[in-house]
Amino acid sequence: MTHREPYAICITKGGHLRKAEPVFCEAALNVIRQAVRESKLTYEAGGLFLGDRTGPEWTVREAVIVPSAERDRHAFVLDGLKATQLLREAEVRSEGALSFLGIWHSHVTGIMRFSEMDREANRKLYEQTGIFLSALVVSCPENGKLRMTVWKIEEGNADEAVRIMDF
């Protein structure tokens, strides 16, 4: 079940409006919401986006929480071994319907910008997986919701957000 319209935005690019991508299912947003709530903004929560990349728009069906590889730090560091294990499990469970679409993590500072460490992680992951989504989640003081900005990482760069959504 997708909830496209409530989150649909259009991004102006080159004078033309283009349909935003990707699409996020409510189930994925719920997992992120719960993980960030549980963190009480005392550490960065994060994990994987899983879903379907066969259509013209990627559909994120699930968000999976991956405990940070460095628990003693506030910063989220993707645990590659754990992430791989969770991805394999999802692939088997879904009989191949779910595949890796990207990563997300929260910033307790509210800064909606990749850190140098994040950029390095994005570059490394791009070398391994090709194009993927990388998202930052912060709490939004204006409306009490979470705000997620999603970038598509191509050639290791994150230039323009493909999606900004409050949920």
Window 2-41: contact mask with Zn ion (x via CB under 5 A): ----------------------------------------
Catalogue the E-assigned strands of the chain.
Answer: 10-13, 16-19, 23-24, 46-52, 59-65, 99-106, 132-140, 145-153, 161-166
Q: Closer to Zn ion at the Cβ: 25 or 66? A: 66
30 φ, ψ to 5°? -60, -40
Q: Which is nearer to Zn ion, 27 or 75 (CB)?
A: 75
Backbone phi, psi, residue 20, to 5°: -65, 150
Q: How far is the CB of 107 from Zn ion (least distance, A)?
A: 5
Give backbone dihedrals phi and psi of 65, rounded to 5 degrees, phi first.
Answer: -85, 130
Smallest gap from residue 157 Cβ to Zn ion (A): 16
Q: Which of 112, 115, 161, 164 binds Zn ion (CB under 5 A)?
A: 115
Give me 68's structure tokens.
Answer: 């940070």
Per CB under 5 A, the list member of 29, 118, 132, 162 interacting with Zn ion is 118
Nearer CB in complex with Zn ion: 90/138: 138
Closest residue to Zn ion, judged by C-beta, is 118
Distance CA 43, CA 62 (A): 22
**Interacting span for Zn ion (CB under 5 A) from 79-87, 95-103, 110-118, 154-162:** 110-118
